Amino acid sequence: MALLDVRGLRVEFASRSGPLAAVEGLDLAVAPGETLALVGESGSGKSVASMAVMGLLPATARVSGQALFEGEDLIAMPPAELRRRRGSGIAMVFQEPMTSLNPVLTIGRQLIEALPRVERASRAAARGRAAELLASVGITAPESRLDEFPHQLSGGMRQRVMIAIALAGRPRLIIADEPTTALDVTVQAQIVALLQSLQRDTGIAILLISHDLALVRQMAGRVAVMYAGRKVEEAAAAALFDRPGHPYSAGLIAAIPRLGGGREARLAEIPGAAPSLAERGPGCNFAPRCPMAAEVCATPPPATGIACHFRTEAAA
């Protein structure tokens, strides 16, 4: 059974011209211990989808569909129930380590409040466990770091602290939303290595949200590609990078810069820009940018498998 099973997730935001869907009919399944990457451009709905699962969207968002975590629907459950699963069932690591930590509280306080109640029972034990967590994410002199404030740490350190906070509740799933985007390249590699070793040691599942395909290739077992609020393709990482099915996936992969491409080799790009929420229609939303676009693309693409008229024909 999947650890997290998202079915038909839809997220709408109210606008002056009626509700606009940021995520439409998203299906995702994360198995225990695996890494699923959710990729797509900014605005494709990947972060909104993850926030919807965690119940962290503002009250103006309307969420429908199901998000079964260990068989229980996170979207239908009362807020207090959902709150108990945050941190201990599913934890999150955010993109901005600069602003994701509270600037006026010490690292220790922010770590300790994320611990399960039993581990917070005694002050000394809580501090001990907090120091242990900092050590487990590769922070040296963890005892003294507990009394420091976020601004005293570097960006990479802060992201390590964020990961330690995520681990504090002993979750089964970590949603990592662009965990390395705001970091220097060398620090990015360290954070990736850290996440991978933590996963090996604890068997935690990771839902990696990223637009960085190099990172995805390195970390993910499976990849789901999102475009304009919909999943257009899902495949094993190796297969996807080898033989992308959807023209959008192919475009993304072709746009990865490669070593040895030569100074003159122009980087491939996908022409045009993703449609805004209001510009989306019932047909294939990628069609205006797609080299293969034809008349049939104005009709809704296949709901299962690769969301492209031409790919299903080829498969049939």
Partner 1 sequence: MLGYALRRVAASVPVAFCVALFVFALLYLAPGDPAALMAGDAASPADIEKLRAALGLDRPFLTRFVEWLWRILHGDLGTSVFTGIPVATLIGQRVLATFSLMIVALLIASGIGVPMGALAAYRPGGAADRAVMVGGVLGFSVPVFVTGYLLSYIFAYRLGWFAVQGFVSPFADFGGFLRTILLPAASLAGAYAALIARITRATMLDVLAQDHVRTARAKGLGEARVVIVHGLSNAAAPILTVMGMGAAVLLGGAVVTETVFGIPGLGRLTVDAVLRRDYPVIQGVTLFLAFIFVAVNLGVDLLCAAIDPRVRQ
Both tokens of residue 194?
């850290």
CB 199 within 8 A of CB 206: yes
The mark string for 136-155 relative to partner 1 (x by CB under 8 A, - otherwise) is -------------x-x----
Range in contact with partner 1 (rule: CB under 8 A) among 23-31, 37-45, 97-105, 235-243: 97-105
CB 65 within 8 A of CB 74: no
Pick the binder of partner 1 from 41, 70, 73, 96 (CB under 8 A): 96
* 165 counts as binding partner 1 under rule CB under 8 A: yes
* 84 counts as binding partner 1 under rule CB under 8 A: yes
Listing DSSP states for 289-302 in one string gives G-TT--GGGGSPPP
Interatomic CA distance for residues 185 and 179, integer angstroms: 12
Both tokens of residue 256?
């990865």
* 85 counts as binding partner 1 under rule CB under 8 A: yes
Range in contact with partner 1 (rule: CB under 8 A) among 16-24, 37-45, 79-87, 250-258: 79-87
Between residue 103 and residue 122, which ones bind partner 1 under the rule CB under 8 A?
103-105, 113-114
Interatomic CA distance for residues 107 and 99, integer angstroms: 13
Pick the binder of partner 1 from 68, 91, 224, 284 (CB under 8 A): 91
Bridge pairing between strands 173-177 and 4-13:
unpaired
Interatomic CA distance for residues 152 and 146, integer angstroms: 11
Interatomic CA distance for residues 24 and 37, integer angstroms: 18
Q: Shortest distance, CB of residue 104 to partner 1, whole angstroms?
A: 5
CB 255 within 8 A of CB 242: no
Q: Shortest distance, CB of residue 103 to partner 1, whole angstroms?
A: 6
Pick the binder of partner 1 from 32, 169, 302, 305 (CB under 8 A): 169
* 222 counts as binding partner 1 under rule CB under 8 A: no
The residue ranges that bind partner 1 (CB under 8 A) are 54, 56, 83-88, 91-92, 94, 96, 99-105, 113-114, 149, 151, 162, 165, 168-169
